[in-house]
């Protein structure tokens, strides 16, 4: 069970986190939902397609992405969070900024999705003071430079150690384990080989006492394996989400909810 703000989400079956990027420059859908009305319609479409929760992102984290001011990020995400507040769907905000976290939590967001694992000053306190869940993700370096020369002695050991260390910090701050999700951060300071090692270790990473979230949707790893451009990666995205679930992941963060939902229904039918 995931204690996710206003919601208690069963993890008996895998959950789909639908991605709503309200940015001009997200790697696969940047600019498509920058208009508030389009973003709201898209968010509701993802719920209709079977998203169990929505992840609202106001700052691209793709390699080389420019950073966004807190004011700008708030202007992007807050109207959508407000419009979705009473739709009855758990809402996540994808941010590294404690100020954005606090505003989103005050507006009722149910999960903080932080690619920086709440390392910013004040982030742990912001989360601890709320009832929201948190996704702690590993990354090596920052989007601007993380893909220049990723290097690990043992990527699985190091990612696992980091995530468990961050979970210990949260538990010490009074955050119950039922509010914590871990994520190895596919594509965040990793080579193709590093990403594949982490995905092969999904079972191990998912057995650490916390639900594991995998986000691989449309990412360059899939392009490297298939040769497909970003707009042609739905098949590989669905396949890798299904494989992650089959190996123990409990949440998949995806752009293509309907296709992923159908695939997970097939997996569930065989359990």
Catalytic residue positions? 219, 253
- What one-character-per-residue DSSP string does 152-193 give? -SSHHHHHHHHHHHHHHHHHHTT--GGGEEEE--TTSS--HH
Q: How far apart are CA 3 and CA 19, in angstroms?
A: 20
Query: 77: which strand partners?
Result: none
Tokens of residue 135, six digits: 């996704």
Q: Which is nearer to ligand HH2, 255 or 261 (CB)?
A: 255
Using N-to-C axis directions, what is the helix angle for 98-106 and 70-84, rounded to 10°?
20
- Pick from 9, 15, 60, 179 the residue near ligand HH2 by CB under 6 A: 60
User: Residue of minimal CB distance from ligand HH2?
Assistant: 215
User: What contacts 66, CB < 8 A, 6 or more positions away?
Assistant: 25, 60
Query: 3: which strand partners?
Result: 8
Q: How far apart are CA 44 and CA 3, in angstroms?
A: 23
Considering only residues 132 through 171, tell me which ones interact with ligand HH2, judged by CB under 6 A: 135, 137
- Pick from 14, 57, 189, 211 the residue near ligand HH2 by CB under 6 A: 57
- Pick from 33, 183, 189, 250 the residue near ligand HH2 by CB under 6 A: 183
Q: What's the min distance (Å) between Cβ of 28 and ligand HH2?
A: 5
Q: Does 3 bind ligand HH2 (CB under 6 A)?
A: no
Tokens of residue 218, six digits: 């449309």
Q: What's the min distance (Å) between Cβ of 270 and ligand HH2?
A: 26
Q: How far apart are CA 50 and CA 145, in angstroms?
A: 35
- Binding segment for ligand HH2 among 36-44, 53-61, 73-81, 194-202 (CB under 6 A)? 53-61
Q: What's the min distance (Å) between Cβ of 55 and ligand HH2?
A: 7
Quick note: the x/- pattern for ligand HH2 over 238-267, rule CB under 6 A, is ---------------x--------------
Handedness of CA 140, 29, 32, 86 (dihedral sign): negative
Q: Does 23 bind ligand HH2 (CB under 6 A)?
A: yes
User: What contacts 57, CB < 8 A, 6 or more positions away?
Assistant: 19, 20, 21, 22, 23, 26, 77, 93, 94, 95, 113
- Binding segment for ligand HH2 among 118-126, 171-179, 183-191, 241-249 (CB under 6 A)? 183-191
Q: Count the Cβ atoms, other than its own, within 10 Å of residue 49.
A: 16
Q: Which is nearer to ligand HH2, 38 or 269 (CB)?
A: 38
- Pick from 39, 56, 61, 254 the residue near ligand HH2 by CB under 6 A: 61
- Pick from 14, 150, 211, 215 the residue near ligand HH2 by CB under 6 A: 215
Q: Does 94 bind ligand HH2 (CB under 6 A)?
A: yes
- Alpha-carbon distance values, 154 to 158, 174, 201, 268 (Å): 6, 31, 12, 33
Considering only residues 112 through 131, tell me which ones interact with ligand HH2, judged by CB under 6 A: 113, 115
- Site for ligand HH2, rule CB under 6 A: 19, 21, 23, 26-28, 57, 60-62, 94, 113, 115, 135, 137, 183, 185-186, 213, 215, 253
């Amino acid at each position: 069970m995931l204690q996710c703000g206003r919601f208690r989400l069963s993890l008996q079956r895998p959950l789909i986190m639908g991605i709503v990027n309200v940015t001009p420059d997200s790697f696969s859908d940047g600019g498509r939902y920058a208009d508030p009305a389009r973003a709201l319609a898209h968010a509701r479409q993802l719920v209709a397609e079977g998203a169990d929760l929505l992840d609202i992102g106001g700052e691209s984290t793709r390699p080389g992405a420019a950073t966004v001011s807190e004011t700008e990020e708030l202007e992007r995400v807050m109207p959508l969070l407000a419009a979705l507040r009473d739709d009855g769907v758990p809402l996540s905000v994808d941010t590294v900024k404690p100020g954005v976290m606090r505003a989103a939590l005050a507006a009722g967001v149910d999960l903080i999705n932080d690619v920086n694992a709440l390392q910013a000053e004040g982030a742990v306190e912001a989360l601890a003071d709320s009832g929201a869940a948190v996704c702690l993700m590993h990354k090596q370096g920052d989007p601007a430079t993380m893909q220049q020369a990723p290097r690990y002695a043992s990527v699985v050991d190091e990612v696992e150690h980091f995530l468990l260390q961050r979970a210990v910090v949260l538990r010490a701050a009074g955050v119950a384990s039922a509010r914590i999700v871990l994520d190895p951060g596919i594509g965040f300071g990793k080579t193709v080989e590093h990403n594949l090692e982490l995905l092969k270790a999904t079972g191990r990473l998912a057995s650490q006492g916390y639900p594991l979230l995998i986000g691989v949707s449309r990412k360059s790893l899939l392009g490297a394996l298939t040769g497909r451009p970003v707009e042609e990666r739905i098949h590989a995205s669905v396949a890798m989400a299904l494989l992650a679930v089959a190996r123990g992941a409990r949440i998949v963060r995806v752009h293509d909810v309907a296709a992923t939902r159908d695939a997970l229904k097939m997996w569930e039918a065989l359990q």
